[in-house]
């Protein structure tokens, strides 16, 4: 499974890139708005730090303007993927952009039907938002399971990005289902490291090593 980091924060991105497990980045308008750096500079630097796909989101709502905005965003760096919400207009734009070779990440996906439409339109990535479904008492991982089955049935090229991840269990469940990618907030990535028995084990080994004859 590929790991993307779900943030626009350069410190977090640099730190996670240093761990050697980072395959890409996803941002959205909310995440970008938290940063103090100008958007173009921020995106350029993120794309320099991480060679894998970096998703940046379109905010236009009609197909024509979405296509124009997406072309501008895609021209910022060779590894840009353009995030487009799943709407009728977004779908039209996706088809045009896919034919031009621009990578589209269809975002705000909450149903298998939406994911199927995105894949048919030529989307490169499809992002079901798991945590937000859990928030309304719907099992988010059921959606991931269904989408993976449909994509496998028809050999769609689109990769599933499990998004809106809130805790390590989401990451594990995504991996158990065979999801292609999990996009994980920094705080959750950090939690993946921790186990109290690892800490206790290191502590004991260091103490014992101190008594060893050297
Ligand atoms: O990748 C989508 C993600 O940023 C949404 O997460 O926690 O706002 O639902 P959240």
Tens-place pLDDT, residues 132-174: 999 999 999 999 999 999 999 999 999 999 999 999 999 999 9
As given in the structure block, the two tokens for residue 41 are 């500079």
Pocket test for ligand 1, best of 29, 55, 131, 174 (most atoms within 8 A of CB): 131
d(CA 193, CA 125): 27
Cβ atoms of residues 7 and 186 within 8 Å: yes
Pocket test for ligand 1, best of 163, 182, 189 (most atoms within 8 A of CB): 163
Alpha carbon nearest to ligand 1 atom 4, residue: 164
Can you give the CATH number for the domain in which 191 is found?
Answer: 3.20.20.70
29 C-beta neighbours (distance < 10 Å), count: 13
Q: What is the dihedral of CA 79, 73, 162, 133, to 10 degrees?
A: 170
Give me the domain span that covers residue 195. Answer: 2-211
What's the number of domains the chain is made of?
A: 1
Distance CA 44, CA 41 (A): 5
pLDDT digits (tens, 9 = 90+) for 34-82: 999 999 999 999 999 999 999 999 999 999 999 999 999 999 999 999 9
What ligand 1 atom has the least distance to the C-alpha of 135? Answer: 9
Residue nearest to atom 1 of ligand 1 (CA): 163
Write down the residue that tokens 């626009």 correspond to.
Answer: 8
Rounded distance, CA 180 to CA 190, Å? Answer: 20
Tokens 């260091």 found at: 206
What is the 203 CA–ligand 1 centroid distance (Å)? 36
Task: Give the predicted TM-score (pTM) of the model.
Answer: 0.96
């Amino acid at each position: 499974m590929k790991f993307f980091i779900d943030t626009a924060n350069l410190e977090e991105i640099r730190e996670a890139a240093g761990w050697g497990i980072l395959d890409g980045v996803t941002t959205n308008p909310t995440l970008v708005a938290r940063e103090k750096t100008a958007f173009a500079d921020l995106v350029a630097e993120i794309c320099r730090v991480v060679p894998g796909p970096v998703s940046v989101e379109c905010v236009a709502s009609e197909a024509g303007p979405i296509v124009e905005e997406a072309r501008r965003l895609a021209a910022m760096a060779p590894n840009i993927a353009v995030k487009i919400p799943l709407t009728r207009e977004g779908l039209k734009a996706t088809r045009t952009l896919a034919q031009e070779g621009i990578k589209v990440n269809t975002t705000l996906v909450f149903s298998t039907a939406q994911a199927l439409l995105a894949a048919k339109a030529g989307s490169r990535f499809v992002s079901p938002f798991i945590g937000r479904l859990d928030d309304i008492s719907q099992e988010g991982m059921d959606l991931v399971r269904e989408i993976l089955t449909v994509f496998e049935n028809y050999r769609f090229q689109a990769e599933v990005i499990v998004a809106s991840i809130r805790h390590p269990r989401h990451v594990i469940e995504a991996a158990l289902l065979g999801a292609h990618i999990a996009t994980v907030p920094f705080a959750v990535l950090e939690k993946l490291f921790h186990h109290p028995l690892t800490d206790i084990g290191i502590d004991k080994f260091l103490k014992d090593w101190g008594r060893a004859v050297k």
